[in-house]
Amino acid sequence: MKKTIAFFDAKPYDKIWFDQLVNDRYDIRYLESKCNSDTAALAKGCEAVCAFVNDDLSAATIERLYENGVRVLAMRSAGYSNVDFKAAYGKINVVRVPAYSPYAVAEHAMALLLTLNRKVHKAYNRTRDFNFSLSGLIGTDLHGKTAGVIGTGKIGQVFINICKGFGMRVLAYDPYPIPDASFEYVDLPTLLRESDVISLHCPLTEQTHHILDVNAFRQMKKEAFIINTSRGALIDSAALLAALNLKRIGGAGLDVYEEEADIFFEDYSGEIIQDDVLSLLTSRPNVIITSHQAFLTDEALRNIADVTLKNLDAYFAGEDLENEICYHCDSGKVAGGCRKTRKERCFQAPPIDLRSTDTDSFRN
C-alpha cells in the first residue's frame, strides 16, 4: 500500500529527481507552503512529511503534525537547526540527508570568493553596457594567501583541498579536529588574526551561534573576505554590516542569512523587503549574496531525493534508521546507553490513531 508524503516548500527543481526515483512506493503531495504550525494541517492524511531548512519545525508545528498522524519527518537537507528535537522525541522520528554533495557547497564557496576578489559580477554588468574600463576591478592573487576554515567536516575538507589547489596556506579551527590532518589546526583568535579569507563550514549550534560577532571582526585583517555557505546565524549580521561600513574587513560572500526563512527561495523583485540589514548588505559594493543555492547541482539534487526516499523506505520497513537524528540519545540520557550504538531506533513512535487521520475531515 502506498504511503503519502506531504512535501512542503516544494520547488520545480525539487520535483525533478523525486518524481524520477519515487516509482510506485509513495504518493507525494507537493505543497508550495512552508511547513509551520498553521500549514501543518495540510499534512493530514499523510504518513510522512518531507521538509527543508527554512520550514518552521517548532514544538507547535511538531505537535500539529503528530496530531494529524505524521510519524516520520524526512529532512531533505543536512542541516536541522530548525527542528525542535525535544518536542519530536517519542512522537516523530526525524531523518536527514547527511551528505548530498560536499563538492557542490565547497565549490560555490570558492565561486563566491573568486567573484568577490576579482569583481567578476561588476565586470559582467559593465560589459553588457559596452563599458570595457578596468578601473575599480583590481583583485589580488589567492596564491600565497591564508585561508581560515571554521569547521572541518566533509564540506570544509573539500574547500580546504580547493584552497590548496590555489596554492593557499590553510589554517583550520574545529573543536573536534581530524587526527593526522594534512592542514594546520589553530585556535579561533589565531585564525581570525592571520587569515586573508575566512570560510564557514560548521553547523549552527549554541556554541557556533554568532561565532563571527563584533569582537571577531575586530580581530580580522582589514582586507579579509568572509565566506558563508553554512548557516546564516553563524554571523551577527548587524555586526557584519558595521564592520563593512567601518572598513574593518574587505568584503563578504554570503549564500545564507540569519533572517532568510521568509525571504530566500522566493521572488520579491517587485516588493520592498522589510529587512533593513539585508537591504543595506545587498547595496554594499563589496558584498555578494546568493539565495542559499550552494547545494544546487544536479548531482546533489539526485542524492537528496535518493537518500530521502531510502530513509523513508527504512522507516516504513521497520529497519534501523541510519540517518536518524535524536537529541535524547546523543545526550546519553537513555538508560543503557544510546540505542543507535545497538543498531536500534532512538524510539518507536506510537501507532497512528486512524480516527484522527480521516481524510474526509481534511476535505472539510
Local confidence band at 159 (pLDDT 50, 70, 90 cut-offs): very high
Whether 231 sits among the annotated catalytic residues: the reply is yes
pLDDT in tens, 191-248: 999 999 999 999 999 999 999 999 999 999 999 999 999 999 999 999 999 999 999 9
Per-residue model confidence (pLDDT) at position 360: 34
The catalytic residue among 64, 96, 108, 231 is: 231
Which of 53-57, 168-172, 337-341 has the highest mean predicted lDDT (pLDDT)?
Answer: 168-172
Q: Which residues are 235's β-sheet partners?
A: 212
Residue 349 pLDDT more than 80?
no
Cβ atoms of 202 and 174 within 8 Å: the answer is yes
Per-residue model confidence (pLDDT) at position 262: 82
Q: Which residues contact 94 (CB under 8 A, 6 or more apart)?
A: 72, 73, 75, 80, 83, 85, 88, 324, 325, 326
pLDDT average, residue stretch 334-359: 53
Residue 21 pLDDT more than 80?
yes
pLDDT average, residue stretch 308-323: 94
Cβ atoms of 37 and 8 within 8 Å: the answer is no
Strands (E), the chain: 3-7, 26-30, 48-51, 72-75, 93-95, 146-150, 169-173, 184-185, 197-200, 225-228, 251-254, 287-289, 324-325
Across all residues in the chain, what is the average pLDDT? 90
Helix axes 102-118, 298-316, angle to 10 degrees: 150
- How large a percentage of the chain has pLDDT more than 90? 81
Q: What distance in Å separates the CA atoms of residue 229 and residue 31, rounded to the nearest whole number?
A: 26
Per-residue model confidence (pLDDT) at position 265: 87
Local confidence band at 354 (pLDDT 50, 70, 90 cut-offs): very low
Per-residue model confidence (pLDDT) at position 338: 55
Report the side by side order of strands in the sheet with 72-75. Answer: 26-30, 3-7, 48-51, 72-75, 93-95, 324-325
Whether 194 sits among the annotated catalytic residues: the reply is no
Per-residue model confidence (pLDDT) at position 80: 87
- How large a percentage of the chain has pLDDT more than 70? 90
pLDDT in tens, 104-124: 999 999 999 999 999 999 999
> Hey, what domains does the chain have and what are their CATH numbers?
3-100+297-363 (3.40.50.720), 102-289 (3.40.50.720)
Residue 281 pLDDT more than 60?
yes
Local confidence band at 40 (pLDDT 50, 70, 90 cut-offs): very high
Residue 337 pLDDT more than 50?
no
Q: Which residues contact 18 (CB under 8 A, 6 or more apart)?
A: 7, 28, 305, 308, 309
The catalytic residue among 64, 76, 108, 260 is: 260
Per-residue model confidence (pLDDT) at position 364: 29
The catalytic residue among 71, 292, 339, 345 is: 292
pLDDT average, residue stretch 80-84: 90
Per-residue model confidence (pLDDT) at position 325: 86
Per-residue model confidence (pLDDT) at position 326: 75
Per-residue model confidence (pLDDT) at position 300: 96
Residue 341 pLDDT more than 60?
no
Strands (E), 283-357: 287-289, 324-325
Per-residue model confidence (pLDDT) at position 339: 56
Where on the phi/psi map is residue 125: left (φ > 0), alpha (ψ -120 to 50), or beta? Answer: alpha
Cβ atoms of 54 and 264 within 8 Å: the answer is yes
Whether 292 sits among the annotated catalytic residues: the reply is yes
